[in-house]
Amino acid sequence: MKKILSIVIVSIFILVSSIPLYATEKNIINDKSTKSTSQFLVSITRPEGDESTFKKSYVICGNSRKEDILVKLLTYNKNTDSYEEYENTDGDSCWSIGSSGVFMKEIQLPKEGANLIRIVAYNKYADTLKINENLQVSNFTITLLNKSVKDAIKNGFFRITDILNEYYGYVKSTV
């Protein structure tokens, strides 16, 4: 009976001691103050940086020469003041990079305005995650512009074009 009790106690101790380690790793990934690192595990080809778009649908893609890499997609939640996993259109927030080394995932931008997106890459066999060693963090802002901004830009461009056409048309007819 003492041996069984000892085994149970040791098992519980091991389980409890691993919880803070997991919480620390999770905090690094989800903490809004975690800065972007160099792209040493995965080269993200889109977004290339902070971008603006009129389309709610957006494609994230990249590649890696390394295998056994997991990529996780997160978005900032203002209510919790942290990054949270965000599912792509296939319902996945995390995927593995296979032998092809390429990934391409479509997402729906969560809201109009600035969307803070975080793409995290790490070795799926790592015991602990350490920034710049086996954990890559890439932060982006993708701004979803509404239709009125698009119309204002379009109308503003046409007004400038009309003014230039009138000016150059007038100049041509007087010369």
Strands of 57-63's sheet, edge to edge?
43-46, 57-63, 102-108
Q: What is the pTM of this model?
A: 0.71
Q: How far apart are CA 54 and CA 113, in angstroms?
A: 10
3-class DSSP state of 133: coil
User: Mind listing the pLDDT tens digit for each residue in 46-58?
Assistant: 999 999 998 999 9
3-class DSSP state of 139: strand
In the prediction, which pLDDT does 22 show?
42
Domain ranges of the chain: 2-144, 146-175
To the nearest whole percent, how much of the chain has pLDDT over 70?
73
Q: How far apart are CA 74 and CA 30, in angstroms?
A: 8
Angle in degrees, CA 30, 22, 103, rounded to 5: 55
Find which of 29-38, 122-131, 144-153 is predicted with most confidence, using mean pLDDT: 29-38
In the prediction, which pLDDT does 67 show?
84
User: Mind listing the pLDDT tens digit for each residue in 96-131?
Assistant: 988 889 999 999 999 999 999 999 999 989 889 999
Q: Which CATH superfamily is domain 2-144 in?
A: Immunoglobulins (2.60.40.10)
In the prediction, which pLDDT does 57 show?
95
User: Mind listing the pLDDT tens digit for each residue in 13-33?
Assistant: 665 554 443 444 558 999 999
In the prediction, which pLDDT does 146 show?
81
How is residue 137 written in tokens?
């963090």
Q: Please count the residues of the chain.
A: 175
The DSSP secondary structure of 5-33, one letter per residue, reads: HHHHHHHHHHHHHHHHHHHHHHHHHHBTT
